[in-house]
Amino acid sequence: MKHYLLLLIALVGLTPVYAQFDDNDLFGTNTTQFAKPKKHGFFLGPRVGGTMTMMTQPEQTDLYDGMGFGFSGGLAMKVRLGRMSENSDGGTGIFGIALDLKYKLNSVKTLGIGGDKLNLGYFEVPVMLQLYPFYKNTALNGLYIEAGADFSALVNKSPDAIAVADGNRHAVYHTGDLKGFDVRIPVGLGWTLRKGFDVNLRYYIGTSHLAENLKCKQSSLELSLAWYFRLAGRNN
């Protein structure tokens, strides 16, 4: 009886040790060498940037005078699919999906009396499909090209109206008539470094008129920096 009691105590004492090994660890092999690698990586972090906005001329009379500068900022997240090799961390493969939640100010110079600038602030959600063409190369693994759709909602605007006098043509454009929602097409390229820093350049192509009485389209160029933190996908 005593022998059985000692054996039971030994088995209970060894249970935490056995729990750290799988079937292949009966000979003392480290489990991390045989753990199934994670396939995908999930990343999250802040993004800030600067913008340059351009605009086509409306039909009624010329309004656009030149590019203006704005800014953007918000939260960036992405899922990168697959692995560079069988033993690589997840999130080093050829495809990725990125999404931002951010505020962006589009600003242009106008020909309005008084030299008004047209400032439009949007809450934007760009959804991007990313391609990493050199994912097999360790040094260039983070270089990507991307394209997608940008869903934007107008949250603030100024001024209330812009008056333009062009020879015999006169026009007053009211920003209260602007559409509250728009969809743009962003294309870009970027590079995510191993420490999580991301440099990104995107061109947002305007696809529709700002308003029925302001038939012009805005496009913008955005240079931004993000700092991604890995939330999932590391092997150990």
Tell me, letter by letter, the H, E, C secondary structure of the chain.
CHHHHHHHHHHHHHHHHHCCCCHHHCCCCCHHHCCCCCCCEEEEEEEEEEEEEEECCCCCCCCEEEEEEEEEEEEEEEEEECCCCCCCCCCCCCEEEEEEEEEEEEEEEECCCCCCEEEEEEEEEEEEEEECCCCCCCCCCCEEEEEEEEEEEEEEEECCEEEEEECCEEEEEEHHHCCCEEEEEEEEEEEECCCCEEEEEEEEEECCCCECCECCCEEEEEEEEEECEEEECCCC
pLDDT at 80 over 60: yes
Give 226's pLDDT tier (boundaries 50, 70, 90). very high
Residues 25 and 31: beta-carbon distance below 8 Å: yes
pLDDT digits (tens, 9 = 90+) for 91-112: 899 999 999 999 999 999 998 8
Phi, psi of 33 (to 5 degrees): -80, -20
Structural domains of the chain sorted by starting position, each given as residue range(s) with its CATH number in brackets = 1-35 (no CATH), 38-232 (2.40.160.20)
pLDDT at 116 over 50: yes
pLDDT at 174 over 80: yes
Residues 220 and 205: beta-carbon distance below 8 Å: no
Q: Which carries the bigger pLDDT value, residue 41 or residue 101?
A: 101
Quote the pLDDT of residue 194.
Answer: 81
pLDDT > 90: what percent of the chain? 59
Which range has the worst mean pLDDT, 83-97, 99-113, 218-232?
83-97
Mean per-residue pLDDT of the chain: 84
User: For residue 122, which of 77, 187, 70 has the smallest C-alpha distance?
Assistant: 70
pLDDT at 29 over 60: no
pLDDT at 5 over 80: no
User: For residue 112, which of 64, 52, 168 has the smallest C-alpha distance?
Assistant: 64
Residues 224 and 47: beta-carbon distance below 8 Å: yes
Q: Which carries the bigger pLDDT value, residue 39 or residue 25?
A: 39
Q: Which carries the bigger pLDDT value, residue 179 or residue 144?
A: 144
Averaged pLDDT for residues 131-138: 95
